[in-house]
Amino acid sequence: MTRIDATFARLKAANKKAFVSYLMAGDPDYDTSLEIVKGLPAAGVDIIELGLPFTDPMADGPTIQLAGQRALEAGMTLERTLQMARDFRAVDDVTPIVLMGYYNPIYSRGVDQFLVDAKDAGIDGMIVVDLPPEEDTELCIPAQAAGLNFIRLATPTTDSERLPKVLQNTSGFVYYVSITGITGAAEAEATNVGPEVARIKAATDLPIIVGFGVNTPEKAEAIASISDGAVVGSAIVGKIANGDSPADVLEFVASLAAGAHKA
Amino acid sequence: MPEDNVNSFMNGPDENGRFGDFGGRFVSETLMPLILELEAQYEHAKTDDSFWAEMNDLWTHYVGRPSPLYYAERLTEKLGGAKIYLKRDELNHTGAHKINNVLGQIILARRMGKTRIIAETGAGQHGVATATVCAKFGLKCVVYMGAHDVERQAPNVFRMKLLGAEVVPVTSGRGTLKDAMNDALRDWVTNVRDTFYCIGTVAGPHPYPAMVRDFQAIIGKETKEQMHAAEGRLPDTLIAAIGGGSNAMGLFFPFLDDKSVNIIGVEAGGKGVNAKMEHCASLTGGRPGVLHGNRTYLLQDDDGQILEGFSISAGLDYPGIGPEHSWLHDIGRAKYVSITDVEALEAFQLCCEMEGIIPALEPSHALGHVIKLAPTLPKDHLLVMNMCGRGDKDIFTVAAALGIEMNNGE
């Protein structure tokens, strides 16, 4: 059982929905980013998505593109992202960390080496945007064998015929992308998302977490109420881009978490 | 070299879109159903006579195919070696090979009921070709172009606008072709229902590398027939410039199983293939990675971050290369070299002066290698270079590089 599985078991027992936060590792710099990450559990975050910076984030909108650029300019790498996980683990051995990013930095390091290092750093799972089920032999299957969760994205274009293929090698949870589009671009509508979540739930026992287009406490509550939890990314990253202090960023995160936990 | 079908070099890609270890479908889940649908539609069209009848009709009457295979007599005499032929794809409508592929994709898009076409462009040739065919068929067209390229290719930007296309300057990254492709993919992932992404080169997720190659293969098919008519045999050497590699793949593909034919791709060497990566030579200066939906050779740093290439030619300014080229390179069927900006400029001028042809900066790289290679070969050696584009669009860049100020044509 990974920390992700344990977290959902705990939430289920407490009849609570999950709040998942995303931020880019190393944005705007290593120390500030680590300070925010360390404060996330106390702000009510159940699962931390740690963005792995990449030069060409094809599924991301301008907010997260720029966050990646800031991180890279501040010297962020895959190695330092793993180091951030290690530094976090020194103070928190419970909250799951999901690495979210693109395949090339992982491929460049070598999949086997990456999996050993990620496990050692206290990473629990990964979301790799440009690895659909058709490319499962690349990283998904080796990751599961190494005891790490490989969390798949399901989208509005994933029709019922394709859904079993998407769910087949998924573990930890399913991340439902609420819109067709890039991160931070459009708003998720609970009335549209509800039936989609129900469709996926009918095909899997895994928790369904919804992200893309969730940007306020009210939206987090609405989305969490029709799923197993909500993800907020761009809205938090936007605060960091504004130069808000870690305390202010965490206060915003706490308001989002409270919204999701109300559901 | 294989004669039987099993060992042919022309069977790729496999059902997973792989050429050996290269290629594949590295896209987000949102796009995956779209590219599977595209693959199914293309597989159907490929064997549909009415599809090719429509293509052939437009190639003949709209594009002006076949393009001539021209014996460059003065260039041959000047270099004093191999007999040099130029495949004149710069004479196509819109001035480059790009339209060969665009026609195929737009006809397919129409069959699929798509009403909005998006494209990325570097030098602007693919953008102009896409805008042209969209105008012809009354389709909405949006072209993503790096802001840096918008600046250095102003005439093509104006052409696209005249043709009714919307040109979106891309400011992310360094504002070149790679960044334009990222933004085109972001558009596609947002507008999945009505939009067709018309990719301009033999890269991207399967089926694009194979589909674009198949549409461009008309270049090689014609060359084979024309050389047979002119010389009664196969050419000995093929040379083409490579950014993503579509003109090269189009020329090379029909000859892959002809073992006597030497195949050479010419990458953009920029300021020289050096540690500072001031070039776009993915094969000579890069290593395998995953970008824009496929595994291929890429310019990247130790962390797997993609590097911006550097070239005087906007059309070659791409940090990757089509996956089939990566495979041909690794198995040794084709050879890849690089030519610097300076060498390409010299070739550009020589071609203007000796043949009365103003070449685009892209094929000027291929010509740069012809200038090096031809003198070392015997006079009965038949060399074909793909003159894949004309240089009208590049005169401002060339003038600037040569330190010439242009004022009102004086």
Residue B1 has pLDDT above 60, yes or no: no
pLDDT of residue B286: 93
Q: In chain A, what residues touch B176 (CB-CB under 8 Å)?
A: none
* Interchain proximity A55–B303, CB inside 8 Å: no
What is the tens place of the pLDDT at every residue in B258-305? Answer: 999 999 999 999 988 776 678 888 998 899 999 999 999 999 999 999
Residue B235 has pLDDT above 90, yes or no: yes
What average pLDDT does the segment A239-256 reach? 98
Lowest mean pLDDT across B50-54, B162-166, B315-319: B315-319
What average pLDDT does the segment B20-44 reach? 97
What average pLDDT does the segment B219-223 reach? 98
Residue B173 to residues A69, A140, B148, B260, B407: CA-CA distances in angstroms? Answer: 9, 29, 10, 43, 33
Closest-CA distance of chain A to residue B123, Å: 20
User: Among residues A1, A170, A230, which one has the least CA distance to residue A94?
Assistant: A1
Closest-CA distance of chain B to residue A53, Å: 9
Cα–Cα distance, B220 to B224 (Å, whole number): 6
What is the tens place of the pLDDT at every residue in B386-396? Answer: 999 999 889 98
Domain boundaries, chain A: 3-262
The pLDDT > 70 percentage for chain A reads 100
3-state DSSP of chain B? CCCCHHHCCCCCCCCCCEECCEEEEECCCCCHHHHHHHHHHHHHHHCCHHHHHHHHHHHHHHHCCCCCEEECHHHHHHHCCCEEEEECHHHCCCCECHHHHHHHHHHHHHHCCCCEEEEEECCCHHHHHHHHHHHHHCCEEEEEEEHHHHHHCHHHHHHHHHCCCEEEEECCCCCCHHHHHHHHHHHHHHCCCCEEECCCCCCCCCCHHHHHHHHHCHHHHHHHHHHHHHHCCCCCEEEEEECCCHHHHHHHHHHCCCCCCEEEEEEEEECCCCCCCCCCCHHHHCEEEEECEEEEEECECCCCCECCCCCCCHHHCCCCCCHHHHHHHHHCCCEEEEEEHHHHHHHHHHHHHHHCCCECHHHHHHHHHHHHHHHHCCCCCEEEEECCEEHHHHHHHHHHHCCCCCCCCC
CA B318 centroid distance within chain: 11
Residue B408 has pLDDT above 60, yes or no: no
pLDDT of residue A133: 97
Q: Which of A5, A27, A60, A221 is catalytic?
A: A60
Cα–Cα distance, B64 to B255 (Å, whole number): 23
**Cβ(A210)–Cβ(A178) below 8 Å:** yes
Could you tell me the fold of the domain covering A3-262? Answer: TIM Barrel (3.20.20)
Q: For residue A159, what pLDDT band results from cuts at 50, 70 and 90?
A: very high
Cα–Cα distance, B115 to A218 (Å, whole number): 37
What average pLDDT does the segment B19-28 reach? 97
Residue B8 has pLDDT above 50, yes or no: yes
Residue A83 has pLDDT above 90, yes or no: yes
Q: For residue B377, what pLDDT band results from cuts at 50, 70 and 90?
A: very high
Look at the block and give the residue holding tokens 């009210």. A218
Max Cα distance, chain A (Å): 46
Q: For residue B155, what pLDDT band results from cuts at 50, 70 and 90?
A: confident
Closest-CA distance of chain A to residue B304, Å: 4
Q: Which amino acid is it at A88?
A: F
Q: Which of B32, B186, B302 sits opposite A182 (nearest CB)?
A: B186
What is the tens place of the pLDDT at every residue in A121-147? Answer: 999 999 999 999 999 999 999 999 999
* Interchain proximity A59–B300, CB inside 8 Å: no
Q: Which of B25, B173, B192 sits opposite A180 (nearest CB)?
A: B192
* CB neighbour burial string for B170-194, b if at least 16 within 10 angstroms, e if fewer: bebbbbbbbbbbbbbbbbbbbbbee
Task: Name residue B195's beta-bridge partners.
Answer: B116
**Residue-averaged pLDDT of chain A:** 96
What is the tens place of the pLDDT at every residue in B101-126? Answer: 999 999 999 999 999 999 999 889 99
pLDDT of residue B312: 86
Q: In chain A, what residues touch B32 (CB-CB under 8 Å)?
A: 132-134, 157, 162
Q: How many Cα atoms sit within 13 Å of B135 on the Cβ side?
A: 16
* Interchain proximity B305–A180, CB inside 8 Å: no
What average pLDDT does the segment B234-252 reach? 97
**Residue-averaged pLDDT of chain B:** 94
pLDDT of residue B151: 85
| Angle, CA of B136, B141 and B145, to the nearest 5° | 125
* Interchain proximity B28–A77, CB inside 8 Å: no
* Interchain proximity B192–A61, CB inside 8 Å: no
Catalytic status, residue A161: no
What average pLDDT does the segment A188-196 reach? 89
Residue B300 in tokens? 């990247």
Cα–Cα distance, A122 to A116 (Å, whole number): 10
* Interchain proximity A104–B34, CB inside 8 Å: no
Which distant-in-sequence residues (6+ apart) come within 8 Å of B249 by Cβ? B202, B212, B213, B216, B217, B322, B324, B325
Residue B408 to residues A106, B157, B300, B387, B394: CA-CA distances in angstroms? Answer: 53, 20, 42, 29, 17
Cα–Cα distance, B319 to B305 (Å, whole number): 11
Q: Which of A27, A46, A49, A221 is catalytic?
A: A49
Cα–Cα distance, B385 to B87 (Å, whole number): 6
Q: What share of chain A is helix, strand, coil (3-state, %, to 5)?
A: 50, 15, 40
- Which chain A residues touch B if contact means CB-CB below 8 Å? 53-62, 65, 72, 77-79, 102-109, 129-135, 152-159, 162, 166, 177, 180-182, 185
What is the tens place of the pLDDT at every residue in B71-91? Answer: 999 999 999 999 999 999 999
Residue A4 has pLDDT above 90, yes or no: yes
Q: In chain B, what residues touch A65 (CB-CB under 8 Å)?
A: 172
Residue B26 in tokens? 């590295």
Residue B345 has pLDDT above 50, yes or no: yes
Look at the block and give the residue holding tokens 């090979």. B97
Q: Which of A54, A55, A135 sits opposite B25 (nearest CB)?
A: A135
* Interchain proximity B306–A134, CB inside 8 Å: no
What average pLDDT does the segment B354-358 reach? 98
Q: Which of A103, A156, A185 sits opposite B290 (nearest CB)?
A: A103
Catalytic status, residue A205: no
